[in-house]
Amino acid sequence: MKAEAKTEETAKQTVTAPVPEGEREFNWRQCWYPVAFLQDLPKDSPYSFSLYDEPFVLFRNRDGKLGCLTDRCSHRAARLSDGQITDGKIECLYHGWQFGTGGECEHIPQLPVDAKIPANACVQSFTVVERQGMVWVWPGEPEAGAGERIPTIADLDKPEFDSADYMRDLPYDQSYFIENVIDPAHVFISHHGTEGNREQAQALEMEVLESSVEGIKGRWRGMRNPNGSWSNLDFTAPNLVLYSFSVAAGRSGGIALYSIPLGQGKCRMLLRRYANFLSWKIQLKPLWVEHLRQSKILEEDLQVVVGQKSEIERLRQPLKELYLPLKTSDTLVIEYRKWLDKFGRDLPYYQGYATSKLGSDSGECGGEPVLLDRLSQHTQLCGTCSRTYRVTSRLQQISVGAAVAMAALAIVADGFGSKIVAVSAFLSAAALAAVAQKVKTHFERSYTRH
């Protein structure tokens, strides 16, 4: 079946669910945000993050309870995340003020022994919970943070489902990430050989089933097979894009792509691939190996999105003037940008389809180059990969040292047999050092197209 590509101007307009004016407000503070996977959270040191450039810090008390505070000491505004955990309290590195998980100031070394700690020495605290192996923070009023509103994945509560998780910091706003992953059409081209195949690039039938302040529900399928099954693709505001699929009776899975707006020009993604089949593959494959594969997939888009963002912010024109969308590929992308037009006006910044609110640093030229390195954006954040990287680095150092020692031994050895043994040991150590260096490089450098 041959489909005629249509621009948005000639396409049938999307019908969105009516939303009363009183509900057309999106308060970014009244939402749950996924901060990190529990496997990547340090046990005995502070963990810093931000939401729309507002700094926060996580830490555990002596009972293992998580606390989330504003990352700013009430004394002289030093960052609490630069400090340490002392007896289950977070201690400011500057003057040693200590705070509990509720934000209360529990110790000030500079006060006389009999002096009372001032009530206004406390630091603002926020609701934080652990759910489905992730840390979730509610940055609004605590009483409004109902746990049932956390956008978890129902299948992950079932024992037959297994998942592989991956986290990455990205050098562009959250909206660019969501636009990228809510677009199934690019997979066939951009991820050829990894997730897609250029031969399968085709017109897509795409439908928006519902659009409201809570998000967008959609589905898509290829038009080469008009009777093919639909794949669901949903956006749950403000931070989840979910692909869900079924491959046979009782066999299903999905890809959950969470993100948080760290600040203007940066966001964090937390990806979960899950399924109730091929569990052995998920369980037996080392997580760091899967992370190297996932890093390459993400980096196939990374430079493209960075360039797209730079050009859009340089031109400072509405997207509706820059984009030439097709109904057969871009329906959900445009629906998301229009969602920002409708509900994003109270966000600190946003880029909708017809409207936008950009910060003062957007669109400026001559700034620092964007870093596209895997080391700082993933390896150092990931508990599994950071441990593997340290082990690999150490193995390389030991192997180089052993190779040098064996080379020296081969030179001074008297007997022919001793020289053969020393040379063989040298070659083995040198080969191991080369392999370790190659693996180490994979944890440091991003994939680039040639």
Does the structure show a pLDDT above 60 at 299?
A: yes
167-225 pLDDT per residue, tens = 999 999 999 999 999 999 999 999 999 998 999 999 999 999 999 999 999 999 999 99
* pLDDT (0 to 100) of residue 270: 97
**pLDDT average, residue stretch 380-385:** 95
Residue 365 — φ and ψ, nearest 5°? Answer: -100, 165
Q: Which of 208, 190, 205, 272 is nearest to 239 (CA)?
A: 272
Burial (Cβ within 10 Å: 0-12, 13-18, ≥19) of residue 206: buried
Does the structure show a pLDDT above 50 at 56?
A: yes
How many Cβ atoms are within 10 Å of 21's Cβ, its own excluded? 6
Share of the chain above pLDDT 90, in %: 76
* pLDDT (0 to 100) of residue 5: 40
113-148 pLDDT per residue, tens = 889 999 999 999 999 999 999 999 999 987 666 777
Q: Which of 187, 67, 48, 82 is nearest to 126 (CA)?
A: 67
Residue 258 lies in a domain: yes
- Residues 404 and 397 sit within 8 Å (Cβ to Cβ): no
264-282 pLDDT per residue, tens = 999 999 999 999 987 777 7
Q: Domain check: are 69 and 137 in the same one?
A: yes
Q: Domain check: are 313 and 389 in the same one?
A: no
pLDDT confidence of 17, banded at 50, 70, 90? very low
Q: Domain check: are 406 and 288 in the same one?
A: no
383-416 pLDDT per residue, tens = 999 999 999 999 999 999 999 999 999 888 888 8
The domain that contains 210 carries what CATH number? 3.90.380.10
Of 148, 177, 198, at which residue does a domain stop?
A: 148
The domain that contains 55 carries what CATH number? 2.102.10.10
Residue 260 lies in a domain: yes
**pLDDT average, residue stretch 333-337:** 98
Does the structure show a pLDDT above 80 at 256?
A: yes
Residue 395 lies in a domain: yes
- Residues 98 and 89 sit within 8 Å (Cβ to Cβ): yes
Q: Domain check: are 140 and 156 in the same one?
A: no
* pLDDT (0 to 100) of residue 196: 87
* Separation of alpha carbons 96 and 84, rounded Å: 9
Helix axes 287-315, 174-181, angle to 10 degrees: 110
Q: Domain check: are 60 and 105 in the same one?
A: yes
**pLDDT average, residue stretch 344-366:** 77
Q: Domain check: are 229 and 359 in the same one?
A: yes
Q: Domain check: are 119 and 176 in the same one?
A: no
Q: Domain check: are 133 and 262 in the same one?
A: no
Does the structure show a pLDDT above 80 at 295?
A: yes
For 89, 105, 116, 117, 238, the CA distances from 109, given in Å and listed in that order, are: 14, 11, 12, 10, 42
Does the structure show a pLDDT above 90 at 98?
A: yes
* pLDDT (0 to 100) of residue 68: 97
Give residue 248's Cα distance to chain centre. 30
Q: Which of 81, 83, 104, 343 is nearest to 212 (CA)?
A: 343
Q: Domain check: are 429 and 302 in the same one?
A: no
- E-strand ranges in 237-382 read 240-248, 251-263, 266-275, 350-351, 356-357
Of 96, 122, 148, at which residue does a domain stop?
A: 148
Residue of higher predicted confidence among 33 and 1: 33
Residue 72 lies in a domain: yes
**pLDDT average, residue stretch 37-42:** 94
Residue 215 — φ and ψ, nearest 5°? Answer: 140, -160
- Residues 145 and 139 sit within 8 Å (Cβ to Cβ): no
Residue 222 lies in a domain: yes
Instruction: List the structure tokens of 268.
Output: 């964090």
Instruction: List the structure tokens of 59.
Output: 């830490």
Q: Domain check: are 312 and 197 in the same one?
A: yes
Average pLDDT, the chain: 89
Residue 216 lies in a domain: yes
Q: Domain check: are 121 and 179 in the same one?
A: no
| Cis, peptide link before residue 238, omega less than 30° from 0 | yes
Give the range of the structural domain holding residue 266, as residue numbers without chain letter.
152-370
Q: Which of 101, 104, 117, 107 is nearest to 57 (CA)?
A: 101
Residue of higher predicted confidence among 280 and 342: 342
Q: Domain check: are 206 and 221 in the same one?
A: yes
How long is the chain? 450
- Residues 163 and 290 sit within 8 Å (Cβ to Cβ): no
Residue 197 lies in a domain: yes
Burial (Cβ within 10 Å: 0-12, 13-18, ≥19) of residue 360: exposed
* Separation of alpha carbons 244 and 247, rounded Å: 10
Does the structure show a pLDDT above 50 at 9?
A: no
Kind and range of the H or E run holding 418:
helix 416-444
**pLDDT average, residue stretch 100-120:** 94
Of 148, 181, 200, at which residue does a domain stop?
A: 148
Does the structure show a pLDDT above 90 at 450?
A: no
Q: Which of 194, 41, 69 is nearest to 130 (CA)?
A: 41
Query: Total domain count for the chain?
Result: 3
How many Cβ atoms are within 10 Å of 56's Cβ, its own excluded? 24
Residues paired with 263 in a beta bridge: 266
* pLDDT (0 to 100) of residue 341: 95
* pLDDT (0 to 100) of residue 361: 54
* Separation of alpha carbons 85 and 152, rounded Å: 30
* Separation of alpha carbons 275 and 158, rounded Å: 10
Residue 215 lies in a domain: yes
* pLDDT (0 to 100) of residue 369: 58
How many Cβ atoms are within 10 Å of 289's Cβ, its own excluded? 12
β-strands 350-351, 215-222 pairing:
unpaired
